[in-house]
Amino acid sequence: MAAAYVRNREHLEPWDPVRAESFFTEAGQAVEVGRQLEDRERDKRHTFVLWHGPDVAGRIAIDNVARGVLQSATLGYWVDHEHLRRGLATALVEHAVVAGRALGLHRLEAGTRPHNEASQAVLRRAGFQEYGRAERFLFIRGEWTDHVLFQRILHDEPLGNPQTGNRVGGS
């Protein structure tokens, strides 16, 4: 992961928060991956890595998982700058949709900066619909930035945990 982030530092810079130098080191990525594994155990984040041979070519995370009556999460993804325009981002998002359904999520959402038309096209190809704009939504590159919001409804089944088969009834 460290090598992938170093290789893509400039490519990801417009979309990512300001990162400490330690983030781009093996030790920093070991801490980050450890945090992601803990989050997965707590059902807060589910991360998937795209490989091209021995190299990381992309990553997607189902993040901020909210259970209860919401059953929703957000997506965050990126593809290595050397692998763009091959449909990989769309494939990652479609994979996250399948994983989200398996997790019992009702809805996935994603936000893009208004000028990130490539990411907006990825989301539309993957069946997401634009539903609004959030002003000063995320702190990116030292400022609060607006985002265009997208969502995809995954199913309309009753609430429950597909891993246990437990369902919470309706009326």
What pLDDT does 158 receive?
83
What pLDDT does 144 receive?
96
What tens digit of pLDDT does each residue of 55-94 get? 999 999 999 999 999 999 999 999 999 999 999 999 999 9
Quote the tokens at residue 35: 């945090």
Count of residues making up the chain: 171
Q: Is the pLDDT of residue 169 over 50?
A: no
What tens digit of pLDDT does each residue of 100-129 get? 999 999 999 999 999 999 999 999 999 999
Domain 2-160: state its class.
alpha beta
pTM: 0.88
Phi then psi dihedrals of residue 14, to 5 deg: -65, -20
Quote the tokens at residue 152: 């995809």
> Looking at residue 60, what DSSP letter applies?
E
Nearest to 60 by CA among 12, 92, 15: 92
Query: What does the alpha-carbon distance between residue 121 and residue 144 come to, in Å, rounded to a whole number?
Result: 23
Quote the tokens at residue 72: 């929703």
Query: What does the alpha-carbon distance between residue 126 and residue 152 come to, in Å, rounded to a whole number?
Result: 9
Q: Is 166 exposed, middle or buried (0-12, 13-18, 19+ CB in 10 A)?
A: exposed
Q: Are 119 and 130 in contact (CB under 8 A)?
A: no
Q: Domain residue spans in the chain?
A: 2-160
Query: What does the alpha-carbon distance between residue 2 and residue 106 come to, in Å, rounded to a whole number?
Result: 33
Cβ neighbors of 97 (< 8 A, separation 6 or more) are 108, 126, 127, 152, 154
What tens digit of pLDDT does each residue of 135-163 get? 999 999 889 999 999 999 999 988 765 55
Query: What does the alpha-carbon distance between residue 167 and residue 164 come to, in Å, rounded to a whole number?
Result: 9
Query: What does the alpha-carbon distance between residue 39 and residue 171 come to, in Å, rounded to a whole number?
Result: 33
Average pLDDT estimate for 7-31: 95
